[in-house]
Amino acid sequence: MTTRQTYYETLGIAIDASNDDIVAACAAATARFEADIQNDPSGELLNVAMQRIAEFEAIRDTLCDPRRRYLYDRSLGLVMHP
């Protein structure tokens, strides 16, 4: 059985991270993949890097939106159901 990482684990941030922390972690992760693209003259990493960058953007968009973050956290069992 494969266990998928949470968005928090993917970014290496705390569950209660601020929006600034989330944006900074996403920017740092994106920069690493952009550097990989620049250092790969064959272009083999391009598709993988672009997918990961899109994933980081989706994570940022989810965690920085209060409603979407609440729903995501609830899906993880981090928020009690009303």
Residue 82 resides in a domain? no
- pTM of the model as a whole: 0.83
Is the Cβ–Cβ distance between 22 and 60 less than 8 Å? Answer: yes
Residue 1 resides in a domain? no
The 10s digit of each residue's pLDDT in 10-44 is 999 999 999 999 999 999 999 988 887 777 777 77
Mention every residue, 6+ apart, whose C-beta is less than 8 A from residue 33: 49, 52, 53, 56
The 10s digit of each residue's pLDDT in 36-82 is 777 777 777 888 888 999 999 999 999 999 999 999 999 999 986 65
Structurally, the chain folds into a number of domains equal to 1
Residue 24 resides in a domain? yes
Residue 2 resides in a domain? no
Residue 40 resides in a domain? yes
Per-position b or e across 35-52, b if 16+ CB within 10 A of its CB: eeeeeeeeeeeeeebeeb
| CB half-sphere exposure, 63, CA atoms < 13 A | 26
Mean pLDDT of 1-12: 88
Residue 12 resides in a domain? yes
CATH number of the domain encompassing residue 56: 1.10.287
Confidence at residue 10, expressed as pLDDT on a 0 to 100 scale: 96
Residue 31 resides in a domain? yes
Residue 46 resides in a domain? yes
d(CA 11, CA 24): 10
Confidence at residue 82, expressed as pLDDT on a 0 to 100 scale: 58
